[in-house]
Structure formats: structure tokens, C-alpha cells
Structure 1
């Protein structure tokens, strides 16, 4: 769902940037009102968790890939508006440093993945778990359903954004200027794998994390007033940090999934698929590839001259890519966690002063 530059028109991308500005403002206001400065490490861990989870690529039917996001469980833990900030930070670092998602398209990606997903997932969870006891199975089931609904709604909106481009923006010869895929192609191509595979994995992952927290650290669950409870005591972050370290060690597993996610192809792949590269897409596609493109060392990519059949997994190639992928994971974690921590501390500076006085 990380839309690259060139797939959306500047008008569409700019409109979604403009739409996200009041969303970010509202999120900052809500965080300032509901979180304490002591929750900054928790928001940082949540943002870092989202970053790492999105590095785990999943093989999908048709030779494409996808990934979970963790948006709903993040929203349940730190609240939906703090989740907007945490995931937006993660998406920003991915775009700027790793070329994962476009710069012009960052507003669209933050809207789809950083806003629609966690907010929809969270309020679906709240609706389905209303009135349930704290230890009721209905709560973890509702968390899973919320995650499934949130992720698939985000995928649907992404597909609609893709599909409308060909109808709204055409060249003089009638060809598409940007995304060449209409709604009849984009919606099933996005929704079938997300509904059948990625959404299910997102739901199962969310439910398992929810059950773990319910049994081991229920105060972290936002719906139990965990944020306010945590504000008066010490946050138990050690289990979360251990979990993050384990996830980081497993990050290279994401290299086993070959191919690109649907709608994230380069010019050569577009040319091979539809027979031409739209003029507007060609103007913006690949202008910025990041400092560590595709989470890899550029030198390692240049040294890899072996040719593999399309869709094949080269274990030797995976081994060579592991160091760069691991370093990218560590660098990304540090950047995402640091920026999320700094942003939260900045937003909650008044509560920090109050805590110092108390």
C-alpha cells in the first residue's frame, strides 16, 4: 500500500497532503490532551514496531507481496490519535531514507495507512467490544476484526485512488497520465490478496498481541484507561523492548518474499505490463530512491550480477542481502523511535512541566 511517486497526479497527491494537515493537527491536539510525557517511550516503541512489521514482506498470489501494519493494536495501546502520529513518523522515515513510498505520495500513504487504518480499526474494536468484561474473549476477537476491517478499508481506498487516475487525468491521445489501472483492475487486484491473506495475518497478529498484553500487562491497553493508569506509575517497557529485539532479528525473513507489491512497480515493469509508461508517471517515478534504497546497501546491489528467473528465491542472494537489511532495520528503528519520542515529548511538554512540579 506504499504508493510511489508518479502513480497519483500532483492534484490528487496535493489534495491528500492538504487533507492530512488538519488530521495531524487534530492528532497533535489529542495527544497533548490525553498523553503524559511519560508515554513518549511507549509511542516511540509503537512507531518502531510498525516500521519493523512493515519490513516483513509476505508472498501473495500472482507473484506480488504485501505486509501487515499493526495499526489497530497500536491504536488500542496508545490511542487512535497517537497511532496516527506514530505510523506517520514510520511512513515518513520509510519514504525519506529507504525510498519505500513516494515523497509526493506521502500524504496519501499517511492518510491510507496512518489515519484510515488505525482509526477505523480502533473504533470497530470499541464498537464490537462494548460492554464486554476486561477478560472476555470478545475483546481479543473484536481487536482482530477491527484490524481486519481497518487494513482492508485502507487497501480499498488505496485501490480507488489508483483506479480514478486513468479516468480523471488523460494525455492528449487518451492514454493515462498516471496510474494506468482502472477501478475494475485496481480494486480486485488490491482487495483479493488483502482480504484473503494480509488482512487475516493482520487480524491474527493483533489478537495474539492483545491476548499477550491482557495476560501480562493489561494496563497498556488504552480501552482499559491504561494511558491514564500508566501516567501514575512506571511503564513496564522491558517486555516490549525484548519483543522488538526479537522482531529485528527475524527481519531478514522478509527477504524471502520476492516481487513487488501491487502498484509499487518501476517503469520497466509498467512498460512490460501495459505496453507503455504514462507520461506523468515517467516524470515523477523514481526521482527519489532514498539513502538506503529498498533497505539495502547500494554496493551490495551493484555487486549482485547473478540472474534469477522471475519469482525465484535465491538463497545466496538472500544471504548477501541480510547485512544491509539488518542495518536498515537498526537505522530505521533508531530514526523512527527517536523522531516519535521527540515528537511526543514536544507535544506533551506542558504535562512534563506539571509532572516536574508535582
Structure 2
């Protein structure tokens, strides 16, 4: 569901990026207020989980692929603002280092996956969750994952589908994504409604159950949440990450220029002459290593970058707090 470079016009990217600024600002303020130094590593774990789960590609109807995101689970466990920060960091690392999602499209991808998805999941979970015991909680977690992923897919489909209507060259040909709403919406929604959303729901409910089991009553708002089992889970995910290579085909709307030309017969001008950024480890490959080992190493590198970023954020945040307290 990552929108690649040049599938959206620069103005569309700018609008969606601007829409995320107040979300990021409020999320940052919320994290500063609600998260203690001891609890901050949970945001890094959430970002690492989201990064890794998105490496597990699934075969979808129509010969395309998709993946879970993890935003719903993070939202349920840590709140939607924390999820927004965690998923945004995961998306930024994917785009900058692995070429998964566009640099200019980062704001758009964050809008869909780090805003629409976690907040939809949060409210679905809150509405569904009652005093009906554990089973009710698992059903609520499943529905939060299922509905929120499909909400994000719908927004993605609309953003892609309006491009050929709004942006054309002098001859009337689309400048960016060539498929309108009549194609983009069903192409995105059918696979996500039938397969990807179900997987997201299962992952959300399953991992929620695992964390609930290892953390007991301390699960609420991170109190007493045991972090060591979460690290073990991340290591297992890294080891198993090559399973994501088993799904053949390219995700719908994420084709390269050559694939676009073979599908529609031409490369839209905006794609051909648009912004081009070369990541250091494109498509999770590492020079000198096999595809499978490269995938594992990419998972390790991505998680280490995320851990380092959150350590730096945490250090800067709490040094600033200590300075304020000293000043008083």
C-alpha cells in the first residue's frame, strides 16, 4: 500500500504532507506528556514491528501482493498518537533506506497508514470493546485491524484515482497514476476486503493475545508491559522475514516504469521526468548477499536504525525535560 514516487502529483503530496503536520505536532505533544522515559522504548518496538510486518508480502487476488501494517495493534496498545509516531518512523526508514514508498509521497503514505489507520482502529476498538471478557476484546482487536486497513486502502485508492482526472498533459494523457477511480477503487478494495484486511485483523488479534498473555493485567496503557518478550518476537520476525519473498508479483499501484509501460503502453510524463531518489538498499537487497540473506540483513538494519532513532529522540526529550526542571 506504499505509494511510490511520482504516482501522485507534487501538489497532492504537498497537500497530504501539510495535513500531517498538525497530526505530527499533536502526536509529539501527546507522547511528551504521556510517555515516561521507561515507556519510550515501546514506541521503538512498535515502529520496528510495523517495519518488519510490512516486509511480509502476501499474494492477493488479481496476481498482486499486499501486507499487514501493524498500525491498529500499536494504536490499541499505546494509543493512536503513539501509533502515528511509530508508523511514520517506520515509513520514513523504508522510503529513505530501502526505496519502499516515495520520498515526496511520505506525507501521503503517513496520512493513510499513520493517521487514517491508527485513528480508525482506535475508535473501532473503543466502540466494540465492552465488559464482555477476553473474547470481546479479541473480536474488537480483529475488527479494528480489518476495518482500519481497508479504510487506509480506500483513501489510497482515491488519492491514486483522482490523478488522471486532475493532472493531464496537453494531449489529455495522465501525468501521474494512469488509472481513474473506476479502476483504482475496486483494484485496491477487493483484495484488501477479501484477504489483506483479514490478515491484518488476525495479526492484530493474535499479537494482542500474545502480549496480553505475557504482560497480564499490566497491559493497560503500558503499565508493567514486559518488553523482553517483544524483543524476542522481533528477532523471530527478522528470521522469518524471507517468507515475504514467497509472494510473487508487484503490489497494485507500485509498479516500476518498465512495468507501467508494459501494462498501459506508455510511461506518464510525470513519472518519467519526476523526482528520482536512489536508496542505498533498494527492495531490501544487500550487495554481495543472496536475496534471502539480504532480506534478513535488511530487517536487522532497519530495526537498528529505528532503535537508534528512538534512543536519540528519547535522549533529546528527557534532557530537555531535565533542563526545564533544573531551571525551575
TM-score by length of 2: 0.94
Superposition pairs of residues 150-189 of structure 1, within 5 angstroms? 150-189=148-187
Q: Which moved more, 1:70-79 or 1:168-177?
A: 70-79
1:306 matched residue in structure 2: none
Distance 2:81 2:141 in 1: 17
Q: Which moved more, 1:276-285 or 1:346-355?
A: 346-355
* Per-residue CA distance 1:240-299 (angstroms, 9 max, x = gap): 1111111111001111112211100011111111111110111226x1131001000245
Distance change >3 Å, CA 98–CA 136, structure 1 → 2: same
Aligned length: 326
2:306 matched residue in structure 1: 336
Q: Secondary structure at the match of 2:273?
A: helix
2:100 matched residue in structure 1: 100
1:85 paired with 2:85, answer yes
Pairwise CA distance, 1:341: 3.6
1:50 matched residue in structure 2: 50
- The gaps in structure 1 that reach 5 residues or longer are 301-319
Pairwise CA distance, 1:327: 0.9
1:295 paired with 2:303, answer no
Distance 2:212 2:240 in 1: 24
Is this contact kept in 2: 1:77–1:220, CA < 8 A? no
Q: Which moved more, 1:115-124 or 1:157-166?
A: 115-124
Give the root-mean-square deviation of aligned CA atoms: 1.9
2:239 matched residue in structure 1: 249
Q: Secondary structure at the match of 1:59?
A: strand
1:190 matched residue in structure 2: 188
Distance change >3 Å, CA 15–CA 327, structure 1 → 2: same
1:238 paired with 2:237, answer no
Q: Secondary structure at the match of 2:249?
A: coil
Superposition pairs of residues 1-358 of structure 1, within 5 angstroms? 1-129=1-129, 131-132=130-131, 135-219=133-217, 221=219, 224=220, 226-227=221-222, 229-230=223-224, 235-284=225-274, 287-298=276-287, 320-347=290-317, 349=319
Distance change >3 Å, CA 63–CA 171, structure 1 → 2: same
TM-score by length of 1: 0.87
Pairwise CA distance, 1:77: 1.4
